[in-house]
């Protein structure tokens, strides 16, 4: 490897330190708390309130993390632990229930709640048996645990081979609302019903503006419904799924999200009217599901939204508020899922390769560079939020370390044993825990288990869900 000239190295280091954030680790949630006017992209004018700001502060209460550190040192020492705060989850459920109009059934998006134990908790507290599933493995686990008592709608079409494996293993799979998006898939499900000698419920995916598949106009819809009609002894029409996930991003295309939300429901209504006119017997059923919505738009589905056929709203991330949904703080949500990783090494003074003495010199004006803290593994897909005095090493870190950033939180250039720096005054020793805030709820599935806390005390441990297999062992990614 070519050796760097000293002058060139110095220039590189100056550039690093000019661009790097050498202050305390930033938190988009804390930012949301400070900016009272922060408005989620799905809200209209107004948004930020003192109450919302206080909710954000409560969500990052340092006393909570200090209590968790003591609890983990006592009961789960020396290993990475995924934590879910049930007090925060229950609070978020209450916020959602207070917002959602009574005309909308609440359906839980399981990919954002990747543990049957957590799903069961949210189902119980939220008083719903409705779930939206996205994979063969998770649906199999839910059928194992809940069977006929569950109302499952597919959030994306399942390859017919996966559906067949489930139908041959679980009787209750007959009760699933399978999703079809094309004429060919509808025919495949009709053939599957014939092979397995079952009558299948099928919902049709409609494109209400997302441009991610499904019937894009009335002609495509009627062609799919014609297949269901021709196979009425094998298939039962169960409703529509029309996701509105594009709505919050309207401003990025120079468009108005409020206007697009109205247009979504106008399109939805047109699909229902076209289907009902062509096949009135299908649309006369009282148990049809017309699903839409998500965490980013749920606050639009209030009691005042009446000019829509939608009767079913699905969401998941809002119950745990991952970092990529930090704007939910303005609606009163709390973050509920964190990664705790122990300090493996505390090294004084902090140093970096090749330039011994350079960090100690900088630490004279920036005490946050006095000590190096190496974690057992690293933040994984999370943003470090406690202790807040920690900073990423400005030379070796490979990302800004905040959810929603590009690149996302990623630790440092040395790979494992992620490095952060702090001052001598920081009361953080070997064996103490550093806490990260998961950027996405689905990231939790990378670990094998979730530890549940109530009143800052460990009360349960749940396995995470299998994503892609039936009758297989968990094979979880390890960030070490």
Asked if residues 441 and 320 have their Cβ atoms less than 8 Å apart, the reply is yes
Matching CATH number, 88-324, of 3.20.20.10, 3.40.50.1010, 3.40.47.10, 3.40.50.620: 3.20.20.10
Q: What is the pLDDT of residue 404?
A: 67
**CB atoms near residue 390 (< 10 Å):** 21
Residue 24 has pLDDT above 50, yes or no: no
Q: Which residues pair with 75 in a beta bridge?
A: none
- Tokens 């939020």 -> residue: 385
Task: Tell me the three state secondary structure of residue 324.
Answer: helix
Mean of pLDDT over the chain: 84
Residue 76 has pLDDT above 80, yes or no: yes
Q: Give the pLDDT confidence of 300-337 residue by residue, as tens digits.
A: 999 999 999 999 999 999 999 998 899 999 999 999 99
Percentage of residues in the chain having pLDDT higher than 70? 80
20-39+46-87+325-465 fold? Lyase, Ornithine Decarboxylase; Chain A, domain 1 (2.40.37)
The pTM score is 0.85
Angle between helical axes of 136-146 and 116-126 (0-180°, round to 10): 60
Taking the C-alpha atoms of residue 392 and residue 373, their distance in angstroms, rounded to an integer, is 10
The ranges assigned to domains in the chain are: 20-39+46-87+325-465, 88-324
Q: What is the pLDDT of residue 412?
A: 60
H helices, E strands: number in the chain: 12, 17
Q: What is the pLDDT of residue 7?
A: 41
Q: Give the pLDDT confidence of 225-245 residue by residue, as tens digits.
A: 999 999 999 999 999 999 999
Q: What is the pLDDT of residue 302?
A: 98
Question: Is 88-324 in the same CATH topology as 20-39+46-87+325-465?
Answer: no
Instruction: Give which of 290, 286, 287, 231 is closest to 264, Cα–Cα.
Output: 290
Percentage of residues in the chain having pLDDT higher than 90? 71
Taking the C-alpha atoms of residue 204 and residue 181, their distance in angstroms, rounded to an integer, is 6
Give the mean pLDDT of 285-298.
97
Give the mean pLDDT of 102-125.
95
Q: Give the pLDDT confidence of 184-224 residue by residue, as tens digits.
A: 999 999 999 999 999 999 999 999 999 999 999 999 999 99
Q: Give the pLDDT confidence of 387-407 residue by residue, as tens digits.
A: 999 998 888 876 556 776 655
More confident residue, 419 or 408: 419
Asked if residues 27 and 435 have their Cβ atoms less than 8 Å apart, the reply is no
């Amino acid at each position: 490897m070519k050796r760097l000239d000293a002058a060139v190295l110095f220039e590189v280091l100056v550039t690093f330190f000019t661009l790097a954030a050498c202050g305390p680790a930033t938190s988009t949630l804390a930012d949301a708390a400070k900016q009272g006017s922060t408005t989620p992209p799905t809200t209209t004018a107004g948004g930020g309130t003192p109450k919302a700001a206080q909710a954000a502060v409560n969500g990052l209460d340092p006393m909570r993390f200090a209590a968790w550190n003591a609890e983990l040192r006592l009961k789960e020492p020396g290993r990475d632990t995924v934590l879910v705060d049930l007090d925060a989850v229950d609070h978020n459920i209450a916020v959602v229930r207070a917002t959602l109009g009574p005309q909308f059934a609440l359906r839980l998006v399981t990919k954002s709640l990747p543990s049957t134990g957590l799903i069961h908790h949210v189902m119980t507290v939220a008083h719903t048996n409705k779930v939206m599933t996205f994979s063969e493995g998770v649906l199999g686990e839910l059928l194992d645990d809940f069977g006929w008592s569950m109302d499952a709608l597919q959030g994306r079409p399942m390859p017919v081979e996966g559906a067949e494996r489930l139908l041959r293993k679980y009787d209750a799979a007959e009760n699933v609302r399978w999703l079809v998006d094309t004429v060919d898939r509808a025919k495949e499900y009709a053939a599957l019903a014939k092979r397995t000698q079952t009558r299948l419920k099928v919902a049709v995916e409609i494109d209400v503006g997302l441009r991610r598949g499904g019937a894009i106009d009335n002609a495509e819809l009627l062609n799919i419904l014609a297949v269901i009609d021709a196979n009425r002894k094998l298939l039962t029409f169960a409703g529509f799924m029309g996701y509105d996930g594009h709505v919050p991003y309207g401003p990025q295309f120079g468009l108005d999200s409020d206007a697009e939300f109205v247009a979504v429901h106008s399109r939805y209504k047109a699909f229902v009217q076209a289907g009902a006119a062509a096949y009135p017997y299908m649309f006369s059923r009282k148990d049809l599901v017309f699903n839409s919505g998500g965490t980013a738009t749920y606050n639009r589905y209030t009691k005042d939204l009446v000019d829509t056929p939608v009767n079913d709203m699905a969401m998941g991330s809002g119950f745990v508020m991952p970092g990529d949904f930090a704007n939910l703080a303005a609606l009163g949500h709390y973050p509920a899922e964190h990664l705790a990783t122990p300090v493996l090494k505390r090294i004084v003074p902090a140093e970096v390769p090749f330039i011994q003495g350079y960090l100690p010199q900088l630490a004279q004006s920036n005490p946050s560079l006095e000590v190096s803290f190496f974690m057992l593994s690293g933040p994984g897909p999370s943003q470090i939020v406690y202790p807040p005095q920690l900073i990423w090493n400005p030379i070796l870190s490979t990302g800004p370390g905040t959810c929603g950033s590009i690149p996302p939180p990623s630790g440092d250039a040395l790979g494992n044993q992620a490095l952060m720096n702090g001052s001598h005054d920081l009361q953080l020793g070997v064996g103490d825990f550093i806490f990260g805030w998961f950027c996405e709820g689905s990231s939790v599935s990378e670990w094998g288990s979730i530890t549940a806390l109530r009143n800052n005390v460990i009360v349960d441990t749940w396995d995470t869900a299998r994503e892609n297999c039936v009758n297989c062992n968990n094979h979880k990614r390890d960030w070490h």
